[in-house]
Amino acid sequence: MTTQEWGPERAAAMAAELEGARALDVVRWALAEFGEEICVASSMQTAVLEDLVSRVRPGVRVVFLDTGYHFAETLGTRDAVALAYPVRLVDVTPRRSVAEQDAEEGPRLYERDPDRCCALRKVEPLERALTGYRAWVTGLRRADSTIRAGTPVVTWDARWSMVTVNPIAAWSDEELAGYVQARGVLANPLLQLGYPSIGCAPCTRPVAPGEDPRAGRWAGRTKTECGLHG
């Protein structure tokens, strides 16, 4: 099966067919459909995706974007995941180190132009990392934010020209927490320190009780997404 056989209409039809299916069954379908030409994108907030895919097929590649700005806890979670789950961790780095970017763009680009910083340290590296794959699995959930409320289980990403699979799209916060507890899933310790959504350290702050879970991302700005998901 070739990439050309997939597109918006087929993805939408499959999303409708899989709506309401268990996350494990969505993963099982995706791995059967795309074989070795699928990977998982992980932010190392929890290892839910790693747990799901390894239950179906050990050895699936897990892409982690090492931006150079991560919390130590996030890098520690990445290292623990690599040891605890039968997955193939793929560390992806930007073309330039933080020091090289500072020299060329000026220091603290994340403050002056966060969109460009994300483009250089997340979007471009991911584009390279996804080359050769026909599909990727993400942890997007409708409960994450209003902008993600319509997230389908399967969608066609025209920018990457590939299928995006969101097996836990319909999970509530309670369902996510329940799965983590029931399966003993590794989780980033920052989740217990007031960080319900974890990004790069300079652009992420703790969230106060009652605040939107993503209020700590790019606080004080209208920016709500890094650009990886549209």
Tokens 């794959």 map to which residue? Answer: 133
User: How do beta strands 88-92 and 162-165 pair?
Assistant: unpaired
Residue 111: exposed, middle, or buried by beta-carbon count in 10 A (0-12, 13-18, 19+)?
exposed
* CA-to-CA dists, residue 54 to 24, 29, 31, 51, 132, angstroms: 10, 14, 11, 5, 21
Element spanning 174, H or E: helix 173-183
Least Cα distance to 118 among 222, 220, 219, 218 occurs for 218
**Helix spans in 94-154 (H):** 98-105, 109-112, 114-118, 124-129
Catalytic residues: 226
DSSP classification of residue 68: S
